[in-house]
Each structure stands twice: as C-alpha cells, then as structure tokens.
Chains A and B, each alone.
Chain A
Amino acid sequence: MTQPEYTEYYTILPLIILVIWACLLLLVDLFIPKDRKGITGFLAAMGLALTLGYSISQIGREGTGFNGMVVLDGFSTFINILILISGLLGISLAYGYVKRMGIERGEYYTLLLFSVTGMMLMAQAADLIIVFLALELLSIPLYVLAAFARPNLQSEEAGVKYFLLGAFATGFVVYGTALVFGATGQTSFSGIFSAASGGTSGLLLTIGAALILVGFGFKVAAVPFHMWTPDVYQGSPTAVTAFMSSGAKIAGFAALLRVFATAFPALSADLTNILWVLAALTMIVGNLTAISQTNIKRMLAYSSIAHAGYILMAFVPYGNKDVTSISIAAGLFYLVTYVLTNFGTWAVVIALEKAEGRGLEIADYAGIAKKYPALAAAMTVFMLSFIGFPPTLGMVGKFYLFRAVIAGGYSGLAIIGVVTSLVSAYYYLRVVVNMYMREGDPVLEQESWLGLTTAFTAILTVALSFVPQWLFLLASTAVFRLF
C-alpha cells in the first residue's frame, strides 16, 4: 500500500468536481427562495457542463489510480461523456416539469448530480469494491427521486418498489462478489482475470459471476428480472423516468461490459449460453408485452426492457477474442442511439402530460400532427429510430449489433432480434398512426427547454445516421485499449 500520488487524483477529477459541486449546491440551495428553485437547476447544469468540459479534455488520457481501484481510459471517458450529456438532458426535461407538477424542490437537482457521480464512478471502476460503491451511489438518489412527487401515491409506490427490488439486487451483487473473492482471493478485475485464467475453483467463480449478472440484470431491467420496471417507470415523475431509464442503463451496461470483458473472459464458455438466453428472452418478452399497453409510460417501459435485450446481444460473443472489440463497440454505439432516442421520446411525453397523470394514454396523442406538425415529426423520428428504420440512428445501431452478433457466430440471436424489431413496429407505429390519422384536440405545454431537447435529439438522431462511421470509430477507439 502506498500513498496516492498527486497525478492519481486526475483520474477521478471529474468525479471530485461533481461531488464538491453537489455538496456546495446543497448549501447554496438553502438561500434560494422557494419559488425560484429553477436557479438550483441552472447551477446544477453548470456543474455538469463544467465536468463535461473537463471530461472531454480527458479524451486520449489514460491511467489508473488508488492501487488500481479506479481506471481512466477511452472506455470510461466515452461513457462519462454520455452520462454527463444524459444528466444535462435530464435537467432540461425536469426544469419546467417539476414546476408545472408542483414538486419544484432544490434537492431534485442535487440528487441528480449525486446519481450522475455514481454512474461515472461505475464506468471508471476497476475493482468490485468500487463497482458496489458506485452501484449504491447511483441507486440511492434514484430511489428518492422515484418517490419525489410525494404525497402522490403512485410516485410513492414507485419509490418503495424500486427501493425493495434495487436493494434485493444489491444483495445478489454483494454475495456474488463474496464468492468471486472466495474463488480468487482478489477483488480487482486484473487480479480476478489472472487468477481465473490459472483455472482455480471454477464452480465458485462461475456462481459468483452469475450472481453478479443477476444483480445487474435487475439494474438494467433484463428479463426475467424486469418486473419492477413498468410500475416504477409509470409511477415516477416522468422527468425522473427519462433520466433513470437512460442513466442507470448506461452505467449498468458499462459496468457489465467492463467486468465481463476484463475480469471473466475465462468463464465465457459457461456464461455465453446464459447471456444468449437472457438477451433472447428480454427482446421477446419486452416487445410482446409492449403491444398490449395503452399507457405511453408503460409502453415505453416495456420498450426500454426490449432495448436492454438488444444491448445484451453485444455481450453474447464476449469470449470470442476476434469479435469482442467490435461487439462491445456496437454495444456502446447502441447505447448512444438509445439515449438520444429515449430522451427525445420522453421530452414529447412530458410536453403532453397534464397534472394528475392525465394525457398519458396513447389515445391522447390523436390529432397532434394537425395542430403541432413539428412535434409529430420529431416523435415519428424517435419511433422510427426505436424500430430501427432508416434514416435514423436506430437503424444503424441495430445494423452494427446484428453484424457483430453474426460475426460471433450467433445468427439465431440476430434472427430473433430482427423478428422482434418487426413486432415492435406494431406498437411504435400505433403512436404515429394516432398522431396523424385520428382526430383529437391535444394541448401542448410550451416550454423552451423541452422544445430545445426535442429538436436537439431529433436532429442528432437523423443527422448522425448519415455519418455513423464517425461515431462508430469513436466507440471503437474507446474499447481499443480495454483488453
């Protein structure tokens, strides 16, 4: 054990900035009058923007710190930037929404900052201790945020359910980590890797890794650990749902990718089949259940489960050395796709939501195209992107994913992916049909930040699909040094 060097602090400087900013914000918030908590939101966004700036300047830098506990590399920087952008989009969605719903309290933004910190720590973790800490740091603020609309019963229920299931998942992660530690005597990824390659006590290690997979399966909402998702996504305030469906997924998948690629490659023979089944089930169940939903929040919850399945596909060939890097790059690419489309969709949902949970049925989307053509066009772009239809980013993302999976020799999974995408067209297009072909008189909340977010994500979703190589190259360079 040695004292950390000065330079090691640079590896986690974005986290340090964000934590200090959030703590100061808690104090500053005391002096901001009750009816002007939007200022806290602005300050929180400034903190995120500052950290984003620093994270961008970290591109290309690498290092490990604190006795190999945290690592800074292309992968973590890529994920960090994506998470910070999600945080910013999350604040821009919440800014008007919390005011309108009468839940404008300063803690909202501080909790969001702490959660973002946890997500970033997750991406930089190189030791299971840090993975556990980061998992809790990102989850605990989210439990509170889910119940933020108290004394609204639905929101409170969402909070309690999310909390109980989240804590249950933590139990699995802790016990899995204990077994992995028991099998290898190590908690750092590199230590586990070298011990596992040496072929020590395989069964204990496999069970441990499987339990960790179960824990993260809960976090990223993979079938059969998804039952909390629809309730929590529906009950939480919509702005929170938007943030947690993106942020928690990015962080969960980032941690899974790193743990599996750097610590457990030796177990691929056992785990690949489990991952295959998990991915297939998640795609099938998510898409099929979404069909029967009439509430847009519930439908999007099932759709987010389905997309977790698509991203899980990127894990399946992880033991095959030739394919791992392109499949992980495809996974990262799909995360970007998912985040942009997801935030855009939720922005539209928030724009049409009324007090007391009205305006959330798919039927309420009737007649939007006539009254608000730009909004309907944006929503159509998002729905097409979710289906994977050109010219949107979703199509490119799915193309890269399927290509990677087929290259890994799992054509069956790719076929399931294509078929379920076709099935998903049914419920995504139902929203579009409602907007364009039914008569109705919807009323839109005109908020500049919502409009900006919608326009920003819609334009990026279309524009990036014409230059996907650029983004894919970024993702590939990010994973290049992972191994």
Chain B
Amino acid sequence: MVPVDYYVILSAVLFAIGAMGVLSRRNPLIIFMSIELMLNAGNLAFVAFSNMYKTFNGQIFVFFVIAVAAAEVAVGLALIVEIFKTKKSINIDEMNSLKG
C-alpha cells in the first residue's frame, strides 16, 4: 500500500502549482483552472487522510467541495463571458478601469 505521506506530498505539490498558477497567469480561465487544482489538492489530501483514519468525514467533505466547486464554475464562467461581451478581451492586465 502506498503510504499516506506520498499522497500528502503530492497534494502539497499540486496546491503549490495551483497557487503559483493563480499568481502568475494572466488569463482568467487558466487562473480558474489553477484554483480548481488547489481545490483538488485539498480533495486528494482529504481522501488520503480519510483512508488513514478509517473515517468517512474526509470523503464527505470531498463531495461537498466537488458540488460547491461546480456551482462556483457556473457563476465564474458567467462572469467571464459577461465581461468578454463588454470588453472583447479577458486579459487580467487589461482590467484596469478601477483606479485610485
């Protein structure tokens, strides 16, 4: 059996890649994919720990995360489509109409 540490390390790597992606990419869709990667890193850790402790709590949490992430996708994509209709561009660097 693969030890739980491996899963946790993998999830930490995934989380770090996701966080870096959010901070460095300029396309909202890719940023969004990176956020999903962060959430899935959490899911992986949850399932691994859940297996380690032999409880279902972690797995239940994963279901909640998946369901809520789906709702978030619906809202997020709608927002991105909406701004594309107005601006004809979704580059984050060009979203600069708010300044002070």
What is A's interface to B at a CB cutoff of 8 Å? 128-129, 132-133, 136, 140, 143-144, 147, 150-151, 153-154, 156-161, 163-164, 167-168, 170-172, 174-175, 177-179, 181-182, 185-187, 230-231, 234-235, 293-295, 298
Contacts and interface: CB of A to CB of B under 8 A. Distances in A.
A294 B45 CA distance: 46
A177 B48 CA distance: 13
20 contacts: A128-B61, A133-B68, A140-B72, A143-B76, A147-B79, A153-B87, A158-B98, A164-B28, A164-B31, A167-B76, A168-B22, A174-B43, A175-B42, A175-B45, A179-B45, A181-B45, A181-B57, A182-B45, A182-B52, A234-B100
B75 A144 contact: yes
Mostly helix, strand, loop or mixed at chain A's interface? Answer: helix
A230 B100 CA distance: 8
Contacts of B32: 164, 167
Contacts of B48: 182
Task: Return the 7 tightest CB-CB contacts between A and B, nearest first.
Answer: A171-B38, A174-B42, A178-B45, A298-B100, A182-B49, A185-B53, A175-B42
Contact of A160 (B38, B57, B80): B80
Interface string B36-77: 001101110110111011010110110011001001100110
Contacts of B95: 157, 160-161
Contacts of A177: 42, 61
Contacts of A157: 83, 95, 97-98
B20 to A, nearest CB: 12
Given A156-B86, A182-B45, A136 B68 contact: yes
Contact of B35 (A150, A151, A171): A171
A174 B57 contact: no
A154 B100 contact: no
B65 A174 contact: yes
Contacts of A293: 100
A140 B73 CA distance: 10
A147 B72 contact: no
A129 B72 CA distance: 17
Contacts of B52: 182
